[in-house]
Structure 1
């Protein structure tokens, strides 16, 4: 009689695993089409991998708003920060080869590497480059490459020397793109190959990802590519109708190790299969990286905070959450999920793995409509883990509406006052050469009574300033895809500009527009 419960338990486990290998949801096509139409979102692509096989790879909507040019499994999208897992894998391969260790000091391989604090510089280990515990603030220094700059990777890494930490080293999770740029520099230093060449030769080609590009700008030579889209207002980015962005003003090659790859649903399905197989590519007898390194890349190194969630959305809150090496680790109703999202100007990507069920999937959007993304991800997680069906789209739409209303109210509170304080100086009084230690040169010009602000290393980042009040002005840039900012000049008692500070105008601006980290000083 005692064998019956054990037999029932074994059957239950078998049934749970079998459910994971079921076909994708029967309503998936209809759900996606309905969400795209309801949200006026241009296009989407998806791939699903079960037990090492691609069971779905297709596109929906359009590559460019207003056309009938539908994406498919081979359509290229920017994959943003999901590129970070490729950088982590490249370092894992070098660890396997004995060319470095995770606990090696970075400066022992790359003496030019510097953080703000000399002690932190000396103690910084290879693993620290990947796990977002540097002490820097969220996205600190991202303006060195966002949205598109002429800074070299060496210059971007050099910005770390000047960025003041916000927390103590290794105490707090705070997302850092610049650390991944430094990781790319380390790969080049140790391997003798550029990051692009290493990733292409050692990962993309062996994995069968022949249609992907480590230098995402190379996608411009491929006709089958999606165009970026965003809602540029009014009154702020994230609201208003969909606009097509200029793809040539997106991220440049200098951001590669942090978020520069371009790929497709077909190819990312191969990446998912490679990950689930612990580095073993289809048709290959030798894994690209060892099982030990596969485990290491999924091992949480930095706990990540879990935001309090109320109401129906609380069902989506994890019980645990952390960051590993290029991957986030959390649970979905107690089941382990390995994932990473990626966002660039006009594109969103999300890769999710359910390793205990040997299932993974990836979504691409050629827009920034994250609520569509979120709803579809939750739908598939529910499907593959056997959870009851929830109307996640309605819930995420309501969440978005609440967030936008709060942002609009906050934006209205900083609008130009009815009786603004006059500016302290004529236009010529603000004009001159300025510099920020980590960004570099900034120019202010007098054009008659108008004031022009330019960040010369960033394409399209020039603005005729709008007076707000006192010595504060609004910068709306020539490239409308760049978040507007407020600049405040600090004028001394002698009528000279001592410094200037900035912040994003929109309360929901992407964190990579880190104007608040600038400390702008006149060049004397």
Structure 2
């Protein structure tokens, strides 16, 4: 869980049934690799012909359910559901279905963190240690004291993605902060604790106040809710894989009665609540499910869940708008999110603030991000800020990468370089 190496199936799983792939080859969209803007300046709503064949791709990759949403001209223009939310019950995916967004959680938290920068609560180039130094940090690593808020958002903290044993392994750097890209969920989690310490609010409270409520993302949550309990899709592993059985869905279901007994909703829990509740949670759960307080809390790097159209509403607020409302991040801050901050592949791919950026032509960069949780949920989003359009794809299948790539190709007319890395 939480994109940890021990709990995730990180490698792509290819379908072994060559005959099935051959039968579907005719449905493969033709990617456009040319840089002529006219070739991809069209709405991103997939064609009915492609959508008619999409269930075959879902079956080929073992993906039970799928949600797609499209932003056009800065507004949610279209969304569609396919397949089943739960293979056991046969319940269909619908407009209310709540998906695990996985690492798509990170850009949303980046937006909230940048709002705190805009309001002066945080400073982009101030160190995390200036605000808060969790006791799980290594005592003998001076590089930890050089990690800034900007480093977290552009993945240049030098920290690992996740520790394999957070209950007994101090967090330490792998590289010098600010010098290169080290994709890190740990860095986002530390910044989450900084935001909690600076505001006195939990992650979900911050997200709800600064984004979910004003943007109309009312079914989104970093924790759990009655709506999420009723409408969450249940993920399935990719064919031929045996991923971890540990999922957010199972964890939140066990934690809910503990929260009710303590009289404090999970959405309001902060680090100290996790510390106090850990022994009780461990007693109620299978061994190894809750090993440190972070397992009990909302996670800015991985635990967001919501309908695809909610995430599309967020994407709409990453676009330029004729008038920005007072609750939104400022225009200069919005542009900074989508400005190269750290190269991934010089001249082609960069890290922005919370986003990956891919060069489309000399004057155009698209932003994108993918997600994977528990070997059962795969998600992807891509946006063209110049044309104020975006595409969100969420699945409840560990084989979802092969499906969302085909959706992106069919909708945008491009084959992203990021898919080959």
Aligned to 1:367: 397
Query: Residue 331 in 1 paired to residue 362 in 2?
Result: no
Aligned to 1:214: 222
Describe the SS at the equivalent of 2:237.
Answer: strand
How far did 1:129 drift?
2.2
Change (3 A) 1:96 1:29: same
Which of 120, 123, 136 is matched with 2:159 structurally? Answer: 136
Change (3 A) 1:280 1:339: farther
Counterpart CA distance in 1 for 2:150 and 2:217 is 27
Counterpart CA distance in 2 for 1:222 and 1:248 is 11
Query: Residue 297 in 1 paired to residue 337 in 2?
Result: yes
CA shift digits 1:286-314 (9 cap, x unpaired): 351100111122222222248xxxxxxxx
Aligned 8 A contact 1:94 1:100 in 2: yes
TM-score normalised per structure 2: 0.71
Change (3 A) 1:351 1:344: same
How far did 1:116 drift?
6.0
Which of 176, 180, 189 is matched with 1:172 structurally? Answer: 180
How far did 1:21 drift?
3.6
Which of 385, 395, 398 is matched with 1:355 structurally? Answer: 385
CA shift digits 1:120-172 (9 cap, x unpaired): 233222212222223334x241553xxxxxx7xxx9xxx6xx34543333333
- Structure 2 counterparts to residues 57-68 of structure 1, below 5 A: 57-65=79-87, 68=90
Describe the SS at the equivalent of 2:299.
Answer: helix
Which of 83, 93, 99 is matched with 1:71 structurally? Answer: 93
Counterpart CA distance in 2 for 1:110 and 1:245 is 29
Change (3 A) 1:255 1:305: farther
Counterpart CA distance in 2 for 1:192 and 1:66 is 41
Aligned to 1:342: 371
How far did 1:191 drift?
1.6
Which of 199, 205, 211 is matched with 2:207 structurally? Answer: 199
- Structure 2 counterparts to residues 30-69 of structure 1, below 5 A: 30-65=52-87, 68-69=90-91
How far did 1:237 drift?
4.7
Higher relative contact order (CA 8 A, sep 6+): 2
Aligned to 1:225: 232
Describe the SS at the equivalent of 1:49.
Answer: strand
Counterpart CA distance in 1 for 2:248 and 2:121 is 41
How far did 1:342 drift?
1.4
Two-structure CA RMSD over aligned residues (Å): 3.3
Aligned 8 A contact 1:302 1:324 in 2: yes
Change (3 A) 1:209 1:246: closer
Counterpart CA distance in 2 for 1:90 and 1:259 is 15
Describe the SS at the equivalent of 2:328.
Answer: coil
Size of the aligned set, in residue pairs, is: 339
Larger Rg: 1
Structure 1: 5+ residue stretches without partners? 1-11, 145-150, 307-318, 400-524
Identify the structure with the greater strand proportion. Answer: 1
